A and B are shown apart, each in its own frame.
Chain A
Amino acid sequence: GDSVTQMEGPVTLSEEAFLTINCTYTATGYPSLFWYVQYPGEGLQLLLKATKADDKGSNKGFEATYRKETTSFHLEKGSVQVSDSAVYFCALSPRFSGGYNKLIFGAGTRLAVHP
């Protein structure tokens, strides 16, 4: 079945460091891909998404490119801030899922950024 695998955390970085969080997926057809972020004590917020191969999603300095050939959707940011400390979830939604908006999540990666 469809699944998402993302790198285990925690990821600990100093402020202004480069961030990569790896995400790979297994799915039939052409799913949509998402990154959600969860700040402490809050619900999940959509960070970015891509709905077809080679699309690049971007928001708040974060980027991810939908790579069909490597079945990947890695999250990157050039210079992280303390305020980026959160848990990041990669997710996929199959193009056809039988009547509802099905989301399959990875396990989440905790990011801690220190001054």
Chain B
Amino acid sequence: DAGITQSPRHKVTETGTPVTLRCHQTENHRYMYWYRQDPGHGLRLIHYSYGVKDTDKGEVSDGYSVSRSKTEDFLLTLESATSSQTSVYFCAISESSGGADTQYFGPGTRLTVL
């Protein structure tokens, strides 16, 4: 158990509404990541963080923003949700940036945008 929780676990919302997903870790790891999982695509990186207030874009960042005000919390915000953002969202953490390091994943949030 890597000590990662995500909230909410399930959410249904309407197009155009703002949505914030939360990732909380108890491991004090420096690096945190948000992915989305869609059939046929595996997991794709949305944004990542390499420290408090330090974030950067991933592969599919359009329509998403993130914030990290504390080491343990990494928030993902959809400013105006669209149906194409219906997906399962996973948070992950890693201790370092090294290629051999392991990422540990949270349980996921299933988001449905109607």
Residues of A within 8 A of B (CB): 4, 31-32, 34, 36, 42-46, 49, 51, 89, 91, 93-97, 99-103, 105-108
Contacts and interface: CB of A to CB of B under 8 A. Distances in A.
Interface of B: 4, 31, 33, 40-45, 48, 50, 56, 90, 92, 94, 96-108
Contact of A101 (B4, B90, B94): B94
From DSSP, what is the main secondary structure of chain A's interface residues? loop
A107 B45 CA distance: 13
Contact of A96 (B43, B48, B50, B99): B99
A101 B42 contact: no
A43 B106 contact: yes
Contacts, number: 68
B102 A49 contact: yes
26 contacts: A4-B42, A31-B99, A32-B99, A32-B100, A34-B102, A36-B105, A43-B90, A44-B43, A44-B90, A44-B105, A51-B99, A51-B100, A95-B99, A97-B99, A99-B56, A100-B48, A100-B50, A100-B56, A101-B33, A101-B99, A101-B101, A102-B45, A103-B43, A105-B44, A107-B41, A108-B42
A107 B41 CA distance: 5
A100 B99 contact: no
A95 B102 CA distance: 13
Given A42-B107, A43-B90, A44-B105, A100 B43 contact: no
Contacts of A46: 102-104
Contacts of A107: 40-42
Contact of B99 (A45, A93, A105): A93
Contacts of A105: 42-44
A15 to B, nearest CB: 27
